[in-house]
Structure 1
Amino acid sequence: MDFPFEKLIAPISVETFFAEYWEKKPLHISRGDSSYYDGLATTREIDSLITGFSGEQGMSLSVIGSRGPETTIHEFGSGVAYEQEGVYKAFANGSTVRIRGIQRHLPGGQALAAGVTQHTSAPVRINMYLTPRNSQGFNVHQDGHEVLVVQIKGRKHWNVYAEPVELPNDQLVRGRPELFGLKAGAVRYSHSTDPNSEPPLMMEVVLEEGDFLYIPRGFYHAAYTTDTLSMHFTIGAYTLTWHDAVLAALGDVFGASPELRRSLPAGFARGADPADIEAHSEDVLAALRERLDASVLARAVDTLGARVVATTAAPFQGLIEDVDRADTLGMDDPVRMRQDLLYRVDERASTKILSFNGRTVRFPDGADGVLERIEGGAAFSATDLPAEIPAEARLKLVRQLVKVGMLMPVARAA
């Protein structure tokens, strides 16, 4: 199935969303359409995941409960004893069931993740939360990643609070994280002298089936149910930041700068000579000023972009059928680019390289017309490709692009 980002945030346009809301302020969309998210997930599918859970298939399952000011989490994973009846018992007693990484196990989750990553260039993880009536999972908290909520079943009350932490981040310090007891997003709220008090309320909404809520990272929030159970997906977008770009750029600078490759002073852990540190610091800072400029940062951003494209799972539902059918396609059979496929086109010498999901397709010089057709998004056939390419070569190319998952037959997609 397809679930493009445009549909996720409709009726807000993509341009308006990123200009006015992204990293800035919450957005609540009430649609009054309980069928809007049909096909994403059902409680029966969640039952199947719970009963089939083994803790070894890249999925994490937890039960979460709030008792007074404390939130308790019991997480099952690899090496942790798991009893499905314990999960259902906890749910019956008011605990929330959380399944992390739902995009790996449900086509609807994969479609959502693909659409969000295509527009944000952020790695995405989707968690499913199933909360019984008159219950609450987490207490008031903030996240170090962007949060997009889709209400699939039932309803849930949400409180979003003012005075957020400014742009926290979930990522541990890179390089040697074992040396740092630091998490950039772990900032205690300090709006008053009472660390246990709640921040001022900014937004109070009820999410009904088909509704949407966006909470930028750093905004404190909490959710609870009343007279119905609730099932929602939380789409976590783990954005790459300029911090990441600077660290990537430093990799280039490191390779070209002996000053950065020198060891710290011997015995520095017991206390270094300040004069020695100052002298070396001048050399290091001079090397950074000389070698770290806008062009190096631009290359670093491009490198990060290539990594995101290479490591983002493509929405390949139906690919087995497509591969099976590819060699039967004729010159006039319509195909189109697979929707929400994250890809990039790089030019090297006289070749254009189209990359996606760790795969690459090389186009020789003069193939601009082919790429324009593919990227246009509309259906086309081998007949529609530039006539200067022999018909046999055009058909072979279309069939090959179907086999690798770039294109899909329109008849199957309908």
Structure 2
Amino acid sequence: MKTGQAAACAGLLPWAGVNARLSAQALVDGEVSVMRAGREVPLEMLTRLVGGQRVLLDAQLQALCQGGASLVLLAMHRHVQALAALAAMVERHVEAPVTINAYASFTRDGAFQIHRDGHDVLVVQIAGRKRWFCHGRRSEPPFGGETVDPRRDPGPPEAEMVLAPGDLLFVPKGDYHRAEVADAGGQSLHLTVAIQRPDGAEVLRWRLREMADRLAAPVPADRAGWAVYEAWLRTMLAELGDGLDFDRFQAAQAAARPLAGTTAIGLATGAEGPDDVTLVQPALRRRPALPGTGPAVIAAGGGTIRLEALDCAILALLLDRDAATMGDITAALPAEDPAALRAAVAALARRGLVFLTAP
């Protein structure tokens, strides 16, 4: 998909945001890795011990990247507010957990060989151009991530395309693919929005957790009691199946998902709250039922959150639009006092329920 939104996509993760994540500690923690030809570059080639602490070898990292290595930055939605807001927005629409990784490449050598992922992937091209080769599925579901044996010819791709900044590509779970920098001497930065749709095993694990207390009776030590225990367990399994309810499953998933944001300590919005051009985005990963009027208590972040009537009105507006400026909120709720609206938005930010972004 050609969105025509190159500048907006570039703002999701500037190169400065990539550089800020490059440290010896991030490499040690596994949140950043350097990949070449499908293999991870050893930590010892990228860092050295100085005074008992590892330090990043900047020159070595630069040389490796220019020699064909790629940077893999995991879970960037935990570190960049714009990506946290994006992950939350996608989750609300697909009702499945979402994570966002970033990949930076500097030559036509790819970080990974042809492979398939165990989840759906939405690719967002941030900078540079990248050529993608999609080979389709080789088997029917179920399937997980798997690399094709490089000694085998994967055959011609079913589709080949070049992504430019602002372009999107959807790669379904199970589709074999690979990518490379499109331009000689060029570079590329893209995001992968991984959509982890729950499977049957996850649904059954949820149902088992619901019945955990009733299933706690241990298997009898005396073999003579096994037949009775087996008959009882078969009854419990039938009840487990009869109690499957995807609405309740999704509600339980939604209640357990943490908020995408963090508490806004030291919120610098001035005494009167956010100004009209401040962008406000919801941090809720799922879309709760909000009353038209009056306060509410919603389940989110593994607990309950009390919302006043004004909070509900603001969040309902934001969830409907996915984002709005403070000025847009004031215009959309003309019956509310503007000062009270600004104060309420600032309070929501302090509780981690919305993101505030200055232009």
* Interval of TM-score (by shorter of Structure 1 and Structure 2): 0.7 to 0.9
Deviations 1:275-326 (A, max 9, x none): 9977754432222213542466543432222002xx132277xx456x4547
CA distance in 2, matches of 1:45, 1:372: 34
Describe the superposition over 1:117-167 as per-residue Cα deviations: whole angstroms up to 9, x where unpaired.
222233322222111122222111011122111111111111111225545
In the TM superposition, 1:143-154 aligns within 5 A as: 143-154=117-128
Change (3 A) 1:320 1:90: same
1:104/1:294 CA distance change after superposition, 3 Å: same
Matched pairs, number:
338
Does residue 20 of structure 2 align to residue 48 of structure 1?
A: yes
- Please name the residue that 1:114 is paired with: 88
1:302 lines up with 2:251 in the alignment: yes
- C-alpha displacement at 1:207, in angstroms? 0.9
- Residues 273, 343 of structure 2: 8 Å contact kept: no
What is aligned with 2:281?
A: 338
Instruction: Write the distance in 2 (CA, Å) between the matches of 1:187 and 1:265.
Output: 42
Say yes or no: does 1:104 pair with 2:78. yes
Q: Distance in 2 between matches of 1:117 and 1:315?
A: 17
Match of 1:134 among 95, 99, 108: 108
What is the alpha-carbon distance in structure 1 between the residues aligned to residue 289 and residue 28 of structure 2? Answer: 34
TM-score (norm 2): 0.74
Per-residue deviation, 1:58 = 6.3
- 1:223 aligned residue (157, 179, 193): 179
- CA distance in 1 between counterparts of 2:167 and 2:277 reads 35
Shift of 1:201: 2.4
Q: State the AA in 2 paired with 1:290.
A: E
- Asked if structure 2 preserves the Cα contact closer than 8 Å seen for 1:338 and 1:407, the reply is yes
CA distance in 2, matches of 1:96, 1:146: 22
Gaps of 5+ in 2: 48-52, 319-327
Counting only pairs closer than 5 Å after superposition, residues 314-353 of structure 1 correspond to structure 2 as 314=261, 319-320=264-265, 323-325=267-269, 328=272, 338-339=281-282, 341-342=284-285, 345=288, 352-353=296-297
CA contact (8 A) 2:66 2:107 kept: no
Deviations 1:244-280 (A, max 9, x none): 1221111222322xxx43445769xxxxx9x997775
In the alignment, is residue 212 of structure 1 matched against residue 162 of structure 2? no
Residue 73 of structure 1 and its aligned partner are, at CA, apart by 1.3
Checking the alignment, whether the CA contact within 8 Å between 1:326 and 1:399 is kept in structure 2 is: no
Q: CA deviation at 1:241?
A: 3.0
Please give the alpha-carbon distance, in whole angstroms, between the structure 1 residues aligned to 2:219 and 2:156: 47
- State the AA in 2 paired with 1:375: A
Q: Hey, what's the Cα distance between the residues in 2 that align with 1:188 and 1:278?
A: 46
Report deviation, 1:213.
0.6
| Residue 250 (structure 1) aligns with | 208
Residue 35 of structure 1 deviates from its aligned partner by: 2.8
Q: Tell me by how many angstroms 1:65 deviates.
A: 1.3
Specify the SS of the correspondent of 2:233. Answer: helix
The question of 1:73 aligning with 2:40 is answered: yes
Aligned-residue sequence identity (percent) comes to 23
Separation of aligned partners in 2, 1:399 and 1:234: 31
After TM superposition, give the deviation of residue 38 of structure 1 in Å: 2.6
TM-score, normalised relative to structure 1: 0.65
Give the partner amino acid of 2:35: I
Q: Residue 166 of structure 2 aligns to which amino acid in structure 1? A: G
Q: Which residue of 2 aligns with 1:241?
A: 199
User: What CA distance in whole angstroms lies between the structure 2 residues aligned with 1:290 and 1:265?
Assistant: 21
Secondary structure at the counterpart of residue 329 of structure 2: coil
Change in Cα spacing, 1:250 to 1:186, as seen in structure 2 (3 Å) is: same
- How far apart in 2 are the matches of 1:393 and 1:40? 30
